[in-house]
Structure 1
Amino acid sequence: MLKPNLLSRLFSRGQGGPLVPQIYSRVVNRPLLVEPAMADALIDGWLRGGVEAGAGGEPRQILERVGHVAVLDVSGPLIARAVEPVCGVAPTSYEGLMLAFDEIEADANITHVVLRLESPGGEAAQVFDLTDRMAELRSRKTLIAMVDDYAYSGGYAIAAACSEIWVTRTGGVGSVGVVIGHRDVSEANARAGIKWTYVHSGAMKVAGNPNEPLSEEARGFMQGESDRLYELFTASVARYRDMPVEDLRATEAGILFGQGAIDAGLADHLGTFRELMAELQGGSYTRKRLQQSAGSAQVEAEQATVELSAAAGGGGQVESDPASELPGSAEATAEPLDAATLAEQCQQHGLSAAVGIKERWSASQLEAAVERAQEIRNLCTAAGMPQLAADYITASTGVEVVRSELASRLQRGPHLSNRQSAAGTHSTADAWRRTMKKIGA
């Protein structure tokens, strides 16, 4: 039986309106990045008041601050915008996480962010705005997803946008797919003697309404939207994780656990939150990502070492400052260009005006940035991936980092030959070696 105070929260006309219609409108006839069985159980439990009602309000996202490490909690179903809490806490929202990342970015003393994930996923709306923001932020801070014990669908979209993913032995990741649910109550209405009639203009205006069976037109529309978001989901995760989109599609939205997730390229390390925090607090942290070896399987390779010591007390950054690679950056006393001129020049050469203005580039620094951008374009073109150049340049990625990442992508080249005819194997391998030589890898 629902408790009286919970009933008042669910059906009151207070701020935000009745909660049952709010929840219903979020999960029915809308694309969801969620593991369906777990989501059904969570929503049902939330509505039935399985948790004591409390003070309310979305929980503070930064749970803990340990030195240079911020810990964020990402638990339960995920929604786009914050709502009034029903049973003491509200679901984690993409909006709330975005605000937390804004605070983290502004705090130079935070160099590492650990996201503790235990989520079945949630709404599709705005999740990719959040993950793109995270992918951009990880060029300046190290974002570590700690999956204890599951990050499915939208939860995995968030994990994939991190610099790396840790998973426990029993932890699960995946469910890279989209689901849209439709509720047909027409038979229940008929038994109750209820008959709905819609007066409408526009053939699709009432498509998918719950009071009649799903029409073929409505089904086709929903399937098209599901497929569109699936394309966006798989492409985004493939880009964040630097893995073939075909490998993600091959999972068929399945779930992988522990070492199996690592073997499939959906996670990087096996360990617990306690182990991760101990390593982070130990003074230094060596970031690792799984890369394809020249032989057969995936192997762990050290990618970068980030010092967490007293020397970082002044706000040392995780990644090397992109401006430090510029030949003119040592010229601290050079007169910076005015913002209008700098913005115009950056736009002309495809550079990030925000970075240039923030770092107060001088004419020599701008010239060096233009040269670096052209070198990145040349590398990407030589690697046969010119479409990557713009993102690298906008993120102010260093030339050597670009060279290393392109080499990592190209290392997969010869292994694709098993999908081709035997006659094409040697030519493919030769072409791969020539391309690696071109980029100096």
Structure 2
Amino acid sequence: MLKQNLLSRLFSRGQGGPLVPQIYSRVVNRPLLVEPAMADALIDGWLRGGVEAGAGGEPRQILERVGHVAVLDVSGPLIARAVEPVCGVAPTSYEGLMLAFDEIEADANITHVVLRLESPGGEAAQVFDLTDRMAELRSRKTLVAMVDDYAYSGGYAIAAACSEIWVTRTGGVGSVGVVIGHRDVSEANSKAGIKWTYVHSGAMKVAGNPNEPLSDEARGFMQGESDRLYELFTTSVARYRDMPVEDLRATEAGILFGQNAIDAGLADHLGTFRELMAELQGGSYTRKRLQQSAGSAQVEADQASVERSAAAGEGGKVESDPASEIPGSVETAVEPLDAASLAEQCQQHGLSAATAIKERWTTSQLEAAVERAQEIRNLCTAAGMPKLAAEYITAGAGIEAVRGELASLLARGPNLSTRKPAGNHREAKACATTYAAVYARRNAR
């Protein structure tokens, strides 16, 4: 018989609804980027009332600020959207982190951001929207992941999107994989004398339901989705980390600790949070990993694009982004360009004059935007989709986001790499990415 406190925990009123349905709907039959053993322990703890949902809650505000350094605490399981806590503190959400990065980007006094990570991962939904945003932001701010003491799966995806990763001697990273769990209660129902019957339209409508054994069709669908997200996960991390995707897949979603993680290319620096903050406050900190890899080959997505272009006889060449290879810095105080001059030059280079005037661009900001626009044109041309460049540029999309989206488009099917560019505006708009829409909405605020 269930104890009274457990019953009240599972079905109490006034706390955002029953706990069991909330957990069940988030973890069963859904792809997760989470370390399975830790996930099982967390779920069991929630059900038995032994643990809270998360340690740090929503990082809507900068939790700590030391001079020019902002510190964000990313602890516990990760979910896509903010929720009201059933009890205790709500888990950290990708949505909340996105808002925190918006606040950080708007603060010109912040040049470095430290993410203190202690997370087993969580939901797959929206994590790559967050990490692509982070990879784009790191061209202007230095993002440092401090793994003390673990960042697994979805937590590692966030760490990989940073400029570099510090890990303690006991710290663990990895678990780069996808898991989907299915709960089969058909035998328990049978013993209890319960028989479920579904009346449905559409062969897959009830696929994967818990009251029947998992069918071959449902298993095939889940495996296909798991494989699709695994491809997205590994290629994204390889792009962020500038490492061969084969090396990442060779880990087989395993976990590596301390120096072993560094040797495998999954982390960059051995140290503690105290040591990291001391170096940051000393004023001599630079992006060590990016400097060390300055002479390395282009990231995998660019290599693939150039190879496709050469095969198509286009001879396209993708240039590297200088801003992604130097430390983020805040521009010294200079006078912004006048509105008329900005409008004229933005029109000349195909940039958004409204955004430039609103943000009061300086000469150096304009020059950086022009370089970014040219890089985006090069990327789209190399990928065989040159007409997408204008929409990316107008929307203000970052180079890392464009690289990721083009790589994703090219990976969706065998014909995409050689397809003809959109023949009209309607076709081009149909190809427009979710990133373009996201950046357009952000710039319109």
Check whether TM > 0.5. Answer: yes
Deviation of 1:14 (Å): 3.5
Q: Greater strand percent: which structure? A: 1
**Which ranges in structure 2 are unaligned for 5 or more consecutive residues?**
297-323, 400-445
2:63 aligns to what SS in structure 1?
strand
Aligned length: 367
CA distance in 1, matches of 2:254, 2:53: 35
Residue aligning to 2:404: none
CA distance in 2, matches of 1:36, 1:396: 33
| Bigger shift: residues 87-96 or 34-43 | 87-96
| Bigger shift: residues 15-24 or 136-145 | 15-24
Matches within 5 A, 1:113-192: 113-192=113-192
1:11 paired with 2:23, answer: no
Identity of aligned residues (%): 81
Partner amino acid for 2:73? D
Q: Deviations over 1:128-184 (max 9, x none)?
A: 111111112112211110001110100000001111100011111111111100011
Deviation of 1:214 (Å): 0.3
Residue aligning to 2:197: 197
CA distance 1:204–1:227, change in 2 (3 Å): same
Matches within 5 A, 1:18-97: 18-51=18-51, 58=58, 62-97=62-97
| Bigger shift: residues 369-378 or 13-22 | 369-378
Matches within 5 A, 1:234-313: 234-289=234-289, 291=292
Q: Deviations over 1:269-295 (max 9, x none)?
A: 000011111111223312210646989
Partner amino acid for 1:149? D
Residue aligning to 1:207: 207
CA distance in 2, matches of 1:148, 1:279: 17
Partner amino acid for 1:230? Y
CA distance in 1, matches of 2:293, 2:233: 23
Which structure would you say has the larger Rg? 1
Residue aligning to 1:413: none
**Which ranges in structure 1 are unaligned for 5 or more consecutive residues?**
296-302, 307-317, 398-441
Q: Deviations over 1:13-52 (max 9, x none)?
A: 4364222101111000000001100111012112211147
CA distance 1:52–1:288, change in 2 (3 Å): closer
Asked if 1 retains the 8 angstrom alpha-carbon contact of 2:342 and 2:356, the reply is no
Deviation of 1:107 (Å): 1.6
| Bigger shift: residues 56-65 or 182-191 | 56-65
Residue aligning to 1:314: none
Residue aligning to 1:336: 340
RMSD: 3.9
CA distance in 2, matches of 1:58, 1:381: 37
Q: Deviations over 1:342-396 (max 9, x none)?
A: 76655xx4x466763445469x9899678746875898799x8999996999678
1:319 paired with 2:323, answer: no
Partner amino acid for 2:340? P
CA distance 1:13–1:380, change in 2 (3 Å): closer
Deviation of 1:251 (Å): 1.2
Q: Deviations over 1:404-423 (max 9, x none)?
A: xxxxxxxxxxxxxxxxxxxx
1:265 aligns to what SS in structure 2?
coil
